[in-house]
């Protein structure tokens, strides 16, 4: 069900402050903390002494102190101090997970630590560079993560599910998409020319007439999806590369399975216009969150009907091409990882 040798998102960097944070990733309980030196640690959330959750402890300088008996652990999971005794048993340690901090995100590797290469984290500079204004948020979704990936690679549902937010024209339900298989993921793309702008984009870009709209989605295994989306006034050259008469938004979706039935969902709209406009940030944050909550209603309903997260026995249509390719690719990776 899960690929373990891959980078998953744990937290937004700003969420890790002066207290440990408990999370469950891929059915494993993890505690994350930032020590006084600014280093991030991700440890098994279970003290090796009497099994107390380390997330109930506190940060003590460079270490995480267990709240039950005060044992202190470094970011590598080694116990460095036990109150009341000088020697620390050699076996006093807990599992640590490789972590990396990039693009204002804390990433975690749940598999073989020797294979954790930070260079494999997808490039997403729009989450952290000053030329972009980002509006990050998070949701907890009672759905298998693969259903969420399916949803993000499917543009046709927008016309039905998102009528109040990002749906603008009935053609969104029927315009074909181009799906491409890449070495490490899937790309989906399409243009909608001379269409009615969606409500959220119309307000953000002050569009009074029809637009040319672009939708480009990219899935990176195991569970990162980002979209280059936007609109420009119809006929002003956007399909040829001139977006100056419109607005561009990078819509980022960072998914981490919690269990087979639930997922952590970090999202962000990033823009390269009105960078200092607080009202614009509020509009896009609230608009994006409202959009994704519309998806959540359906995703959780689907999960209740398909407890195992599979598509077995269901009918597929032409718009499902990208979803099916992503599922096959991820399934092959999981099978190869689990092979003896």
Convert the pLDDT of each residue in 71-116 to its tens digit: 999 999 999 999 999 999 999 999 999 999 999 999 999 999 999 9
Q: What is the pLDDT at residue 166?
A: 82
Could you tell me which residues are beta bridge partners of residue 250? 228, 270
Strand, helix or coil for residue 56: helix
C-alpha to C-alpha distance for 121 and 223, rounded to whole angstroms: 11
> Contact at 8 Å (CB) between 80 and 88?
yes
Q: What is the pLDDT at residue 308?
A: 85
Cα angle at 216 between 183 and 227, to 5 degrees? 90
C-alpha to C-alpha distance for 256 and 10, rounded to whole angstroms: 7
Residue 198 covered by a domain? yes
Can you give the residue range of the structural domain that contains 258? 125-338
Q: Do 183 and 314 sit in the same domain of this protein?
A: yes
Q: Do 25 and 170 sit in the same domain of this protein?
A: no
Q: How many domains does the chain have?
A: 2
pTM, entire model: 0.94
Q: Do 251 and 315 sit in the same domain of this protein?
A: yes
Residue 112 covered by a domain? yes
Which 8-state DSSP code applies to residue 302? H
Which 8-state DSSP code applies to residue 97? -
Mean pLDDT for 5-17 is 97
Over its C-alpha atoms, the chain yields an Rg (Å, rounded) of: 22
Q: pLDDT grade, residue 12 (50/70/90)?
A: very high
Percent with pLDDT over 90 in the chain: 89
Q: What is the pLDDT at residue 97?
A: 98
Residue 138 covered by a domain? yes
Convert the pLDDT of each residue in 267-291 to its tens digit: 999 999 999 999 999 999 999 999 9
Q: Do 109 and 132 sit in the same domain of this protein?
A: no
Q: What is the pLDDT at residue 164?
A: 80
Convert the pLDDT of each residue in 155-185 to its tens digit: 888 888 888 888 777 888 888 899 999 988 9
> Contact at 8 Å (CB) between 285 and 270?
no
Q: pLDDT grade, residue 143 (50/70/90)?
A: very high
Could you tell me which residues are beta bridge partners of residue 138? 266
9, HSE (Cβ side, Cα atoms, 13 Å): 30
Q: Specify the CATH number for the domain of residue 298.
A: 3.90.380.10
233, HSE (Cβ side, Cα atoms, 13 Å): 7
Last residue of a domain, one of 62, 88, 120: 120
Q: Would residue 259 be called left, alpha or beta, if left means φ above 0 and alpha means ψ between -120 and 50 degrees?
A: beta
Q: Do 137 and 71 sit in the same domain of this protein?
A: no
Residue 1 covered by a domain? no
305 burial (CB, 10 Å; 0-12 / 13-18 / 19+) is: exposed
Q: What is the pLDDT at residue 292?
A: 92
C-alpha to C-alpha distance for 25 and 68, rounded to whole angstroms: 24
Strand, helix or coil for residue 156: coil
Residue 144 covered by a domain? yes
Q: Do 99 and 193 sit in the same domain of this protein?
A: no
Lowest mean pLDDT among 11-15, 32-36, 142-146, 151-155: 151-155
Mean pLDDT for 146-155 is 94
Residue with tokens 């249509």: 317
Q: What is the pLDDT at residue 170?
A: 80
Last residue of a domain, one of 86, 120, 154: 120
Q: Is residue 232 over pLDDT 90? A: yes
Q: Specify the CATH number for the domain of residue 54.
A: 2.102.10.10
C-alpha to C-alpha distance for 18 and 34, rounded to whole angstroms: 7
C-alpha to C-alpha distance for 93 and 116, rounded to whole angstroms: 21
Last residue of a domain, one of 63, 96, 120: 120
Residue 149 covered by a domain? yes
Q: pLDDT grade, residue 211 (50/70/90)?
A: very high
Which tokens go with 169?
Answer: 């024209």
> Contact at 8 Å (CB) between 237 and 208?
no
Which tokens go with 322?
Answer: 């990208």
In this structure, the strands spanning 58-60 and 40-44 are: unpaired
Residue 2 covered by a domain? no
> What's the chain's average pLDDT?
95
Mean pLDDT for 2-28 is 97
């Amino acid at each position: 069900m899960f690929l373990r040798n891959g980078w998953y998102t744990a937290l937004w960097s700003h969420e890790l402050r002066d207290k440990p944070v408990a999370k469950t990733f891929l059915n494993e309980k993890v505690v994350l903390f930032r020590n006084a030196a600014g280093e991030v640690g991700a440890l098994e959330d279970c003290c090796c002494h009497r099994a107390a959750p380390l997330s109930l402890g506190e940060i003590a300088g460079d270490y995480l102190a267990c709240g039950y008996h005060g044992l202190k652990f470094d970011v590598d999971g080694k116990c460095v101090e036990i109150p009341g005794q000088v020697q620390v048993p050699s076996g006093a340690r807990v599992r640590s997970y490789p972590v990396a901090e990039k693009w204002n995100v804390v990433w975690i590797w749940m598999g073989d630590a020797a294979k954790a290469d930070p260079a494999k984290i997808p490039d997403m500079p729009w989450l952290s560079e000053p030329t972009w204004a980002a509006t990050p948020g998070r949701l907890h979704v009672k759905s298998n993560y693969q259903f969420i990936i399916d949803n993000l690679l499917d543009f046709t549902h927008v016309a039905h599910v998102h009528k109040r937010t990002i749906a603008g024209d009935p053609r969104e339900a029927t315009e074909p998409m181009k799906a491409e298989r890449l070495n490490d993921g899937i790309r989906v793309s399409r243009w909608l020319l001379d269409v009615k702008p969606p409500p959220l984009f119309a307000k953000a870009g002050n569009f009074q007439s029809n637009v040319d709209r672009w939708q480009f989605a990219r899935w990176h295994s195991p569970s990162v999806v980002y979209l280059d989306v936007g609109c420009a006034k119809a006929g002003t050259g956007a399909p040829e590369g001139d977006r100056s008469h419109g607005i561009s938004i990078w819509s980022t979706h960072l998914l981490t399975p919690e269990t087979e039935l639930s997922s952590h969902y970090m999202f962000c709209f990033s823009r390269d216009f009105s960078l200092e406009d607080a009202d614009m940030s509020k509009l896009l944050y609230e608009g994006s969150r409202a959009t994704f909550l519309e998806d959540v209603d359906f995703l959780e309903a689907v999960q209740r009907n398909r407890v195992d997260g599979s598509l077995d026995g269901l009918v597929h249509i032409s718009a499902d091409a990208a979803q099916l390719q992503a599922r096959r690719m991820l399934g092959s990776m999981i099978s190869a990882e689990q092979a003896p």
